[in-house]
Amino acid sequence: MIKSPPLKTRSMTSLLVAFPLVLSGCAFWGESKKAPEPVAEVQKFSEQSERATLPKAWQAWRITPQKNKTKYSLKRYEGKTVLHAQADVAASGLVLAIKPRLTEELELRWQWKALSYIPQAEPRESQRDDAPLRIMVAFDGDKSKLPFKEQMVFEMAKVISGHDMPYATLMYVWASQSPVETIYTSSRTSRIKMIVVNSGPNDLGIWQTHRRNLKDDYQNAFGEAPGKVIGLGLMTDSDNTRTQVSAIYGDIELADKKKNKAASQASTKTNSTTNK
């Protein structure tokens, strides 16, 4: 009679087998072994010049060396500079380390445009988890409170990549069929939650503008209060469905809600005075 291995051994074995998939969903700090220098502000793509190199301060990251890279380039489009993404059976992204900022004070704002989409994509299945557009927000937190399995994933990720994985990640996606505002847990790890903000082909070729309350989204997705925001990421991928897809990212902002509220109140007061 063959005895089953102890529970902890079985857990470790399953983690080692699944780890490349888990890391592909979580690896956040790029290809370099050197940790990127965090920035205080996110520079707008529209303020940069057209070029084939990456936007200022953003770093490339690959899911695995075996996968093709998505091509990212700054281009002039409709009178402004945007980030163009082209994935041909490819999966890689860009990441930006940010000096820790209180989530309660921030609103995530961005524009994007899908030039094509992937009808067969399905975020709940790792074999079909592709999207024309994704924007990710990384959060800090106490990893010692996580289940043993998740802690082991974090430890192995650090050994392999040389960097700490974010405690949690919110991922805003353009889905193929899922209703807008649907929240999914990544098939790779519970520490990634996906929120559908666009879906299907109806809005292809049309600029989409989004404003998200990060605190509310985090609490709805994870059921807990958020830690500080420590990074942003984006990705256009088509490797799992073996398709081609292209998209455009406009400016991405982490707006200070307090400053915006004060500016709005000042503007309202000025307008009221002027209109008298």
CA 135 from chain center: how many Å? 4
Q: What backbone phi and psi angles, to 5 degrees, belong to 3?
A: -80, 145
Give the total number of structural domains in the chain.
1
On whether residue 166 sits in a domain, the answer given is yes
Q: Give whole-number Cα distances, 73 to 193, 214, 271, in Å.
A: 27, 28, 41
Q: What is the pLDDT of residue 32?
A: 54
pLDDT above 80: residue 5: no
On whether residue 128 sits in a domain, the answer given is yes
Q: What is the pLDDT of residue 215?
A: 97
Token pair 């353009």 in the structure block, residue: 174
Q: Give whole-number Cα distances, 58 to 18, 27, 192, 222, in Å.
A: 28, 15, 21, 27
Short-list 85, 114, 129, 94, CA closest to 231:
94
Q: What is the pLDDT of residue 261?
A: 59
pTM for this one? 0.83
**Which residues span the domain enclosing 32?**
7-268
Q: What is the pLDDT of residue 43?
A: 93
**What's 197's DSSP letter?**
E
Q: What is the pLDDT of residue 162?
A: 66
Q: What is the CATH number of the domain that holds 225?
A: 2.60.120.260
pLDDT grade for 10, boundaries at 50, 70 and 90: very low
On whether residue 229 sits in a domain, the answer given is yes
Q: What is the pLDDT of residues 41-58, one digit of tens each?
A: 999 999 999 987 888 899
On whether residue 275 sits in a domain, the answer given is no
pLDDT above 60: residue 13: no
Sheet holding 244-256, edge to edge: 71-77, 80-88, 244-256, 106-114, 208-213
